[in-house]
């Protein structure tokens, strides 16, 4: 191993902005079970499937359709 290295021509990592951010999210049992069953069929970890689904929503600009029941 060298005693000293020359980093004068080094380049910043161009992928640093694309790193995933770890978060905590609460999902009900029905959602988790759905993705776990899908994971068994596809042989892809369920966390990855959830990520891929959300990523697909972003890329296709899918909007959530919600209807609130009136309390009348």
Task: Give the separation between CA 49 and CA 11, rounded to whole angstroms.
Answer: 33
**Residue where the block lists tokens 């309390």:** 71
DSSP 8-state secondary structure symbol assigned to residue 70: P
Mind listing the pLDDT tens digit of every residue in the chain (72 residues)? 888 999 899 988 887 777 888 899 999 999 999 999 999 999 999 999 999 999 999 999 999 888 888 876
- HSE (CB half, 13 Å, CA atoms) of 57? 9
Domain that holds residue 52: 24-59
**Residue where the block lists tokens 């694309």:** 18
Q: Is residue 53 part of a domain?
A: yes
Task: Quote the number of domains for the chain.
Answer: 1
Q: Is residue 30 part of a domain?
A: yes
Q: Is residue 64 part of a domain?
A: no
């Amino acid at each position: 191993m060298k005693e000293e290295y020359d980093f004068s021509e080094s380049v910043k990592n161009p992928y640093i902005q694309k790193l995933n951010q770890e978060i905590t999210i609460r999902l009900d049992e029905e959602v988790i079970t759905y993705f776990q069953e899908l994971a068994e069929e596809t042989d892809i970890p369920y966390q990855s499937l959830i990520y891929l689904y959300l990523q697909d929503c972003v890329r296709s600009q899918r909007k959530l359709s919600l209807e609130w029941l009136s309390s009348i």
